[in-house]
Amino acid sequence: ILPNMPPYYDEVIAENYIKGTKFRSSGCDGFLQEYIVTDVDRILLLPDIIDNHVAAFLELISVAVDAIYRFEQYSHARKEIIGVWGDGNLGYITALMLKKIYIDSKIVVFGKNADKLIDFSFADESYLITDIPDNILVDHAFECVGGSSSSAAINQIIDLIEPEGTMSIMGVSEYEVGLNTRLVLEKGITIIGNSRSSHLNFERAIDILSKNPDALEHLERLVSSVVEVSSIQQIEEAFENDIKKSYGKTILRWNT
């Protein structure tokens, strides 16, 4: 069931960017309702090849796919080196999807935790943000950091991106982010904002995963715990424990 609920169809604006679009569990009731009423076009059939545990966070995968296809629409043709800033769940998924879509590009991940970067085995290279070689530059970049570190990540991208590169911003920050606009103008950098996804992005994500079983194996490594739930108290405990984790996905298995 897709969480995105657009109020109407727009031939120009994607459904996840339309004014008035609702998103379940964020601004309106989500999937913990006893009864869920939805339109038939909000339902997708999953192929058997996609494990239920991975399917549980397909929405986050579709968000990465949305950002990548918007990037393809606005970026120039030279994509020899694509950088991903962020070593969390979103950075992991985005880097993996980039590797499957741009098979001839070098995907380079930048993060602050060496232990997490080890898990990015599918990436061509990875670096700590405090130990980047002087000769490293990227044609384009994806920011998947968010929070209070957004500003530092975005400005490091501005420093390391080639002229006329495209920067896709995906991390959410509750703070105003200061940019080195002088260098943005000097380099002619294109900045794209991304948020959530559409029905089409879910279909694209399913297609990519169906054609790349190895990608499913990498995504399964994100599952850090599977919790059996059959009561409200167990649900609350599962959410509380998940908040304490810095990495990985908690899967709720319903016993009803």
∠ CA(22), CA(25), CA(29), 5° rounding?
Answer: 80
| Residue extent(s) of CATH 3.40.50.720 domains in the chain | 77-193
pLDDT tens for residues 40-85? 999 999 999 999 999 999 999 999 999 999 999 999 999 999 999 9
Q: Which of 71-85, 150-164, 238-252 has the lowest mean pLDDT?
A: 238-252
CATH of 77-193, one of 3.40.190.10, 3.40.50.620, 3.40.50.720, 3.90.230.10: 3.40.50.720
**Residue whose token pair is 């599977």:** 226
Query: Within 13 Å, how many C-alpha atoms sit on residue 58's CB side?
Result: 28
| Residue labelled with tokens 């105003």 | 176
Q: DSSP per residue over 25-52, as a string?
A: TBEE--TTSSS----GGG--PPPTTS-H
CA distance 109 to 183: 22
Task: Measure the CA–CA gap between 246 and 186, rounded to whole angstroms.
Answer: 37
Q: Which pLDDT score is estimated for 242?
A: 87
pLDDT in tens, 101-143: 999 999 999 999 999 999 999 999 999 999 999 999 999 999 9
Q: pLDDT at position 26, please?
A: 83
Largest CA distance in the chain: 59
CA 6 – CA 201 distance, rounded (Å):
14
Q: Averaged over 134-156, what is the pLDDT? A: 97
